[in-house]
């Protein structure tokens, strides 16, 4: 039994993005920009960095239907095109961006409902350490409380003493 090749949806959508950029009057924009998956995105579907020419799409959308991902990608590519056509002083979802979305057949919306079963994997958060460290100045007896041990350093209060660890709680 042979393994199926991994689906690269962004590569499949390169023809669509080439068509959009031609319609928008910025041919070859898709070649000058980079489109990548982001595993870190859990709250938004896509993000555009116009100055870098980069579009990031949430990695969990690889399992989504093509039309859904296509709309997300078009939304972000329209930001790149709007900046190139009108400069960087326009509003992100202003009338220029809306015209670009309508020109390729999409409603200019800023929110999409994620299909059922496509929710992102919850990110595991590090547990915060509640250990406290107490450091005392040997000259003025000031006690400084920190969340982690610090190297012996000069006391900021008196300027003469050295803070040393006295207790961990």
Q: Computed from CA positions of residues 120, 126, 127, 128, in that sequence, does the dihedral angle turn out positive or negative?
A: negative
Catalytic, out of 30, 70, 71, 76? 76
Q: Is 139 helix (H, G, I), strand (E, B) or coil?
A: coil
Q: Could you tell me whether strands 54-58 and 46-49 are parallel, antiparallel, or unpaired per DSSP bridges?
A: antiparallel
Residue 44 dihedral angles phi and psi, to the nearest 5°: -120, 160
71 is catalytic: no
User: Which contiguous run of DSSP H or E holds residue 130?
Assistant: none
| Residues annotated as catalytic (active site), given as ranges | 76
């Amino acid at each position: 039994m042979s393994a199926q090749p991994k689906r690269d949806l962004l590569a499949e959508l390169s023809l669509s993005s080439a068509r959009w950029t031609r319609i928008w009057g910025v041919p070859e924009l898709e070649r000058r920009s980079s489109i990548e998956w982001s595993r870190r995105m859990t709250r938004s579907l896509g993000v555009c960095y116009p100055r870098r020419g980069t579009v990031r799409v949430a990695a969990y959308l690889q399992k989504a239907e093509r039309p859904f991902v296509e709309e997300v990608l078009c939304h972000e590519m329209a930001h790149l095109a709007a900046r190139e056509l009108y400069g960087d002083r326009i509003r992100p979802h202003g009338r220029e961006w809306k015209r670009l979305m309508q020109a390729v057949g999409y409603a200019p919306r800023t929110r999409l409902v994620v299909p059922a079963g496509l929710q992102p994997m919850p990110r595991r958060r590090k547990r915060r350490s509640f250990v406290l460290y107490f450091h005392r100045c040997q000259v003025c007896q000031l006690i400084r409380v920190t969340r982690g041990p610090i190297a012996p350093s000069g006391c900021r209060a008196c300027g003469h003493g050295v803070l040393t660890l006295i207790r961990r709680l």
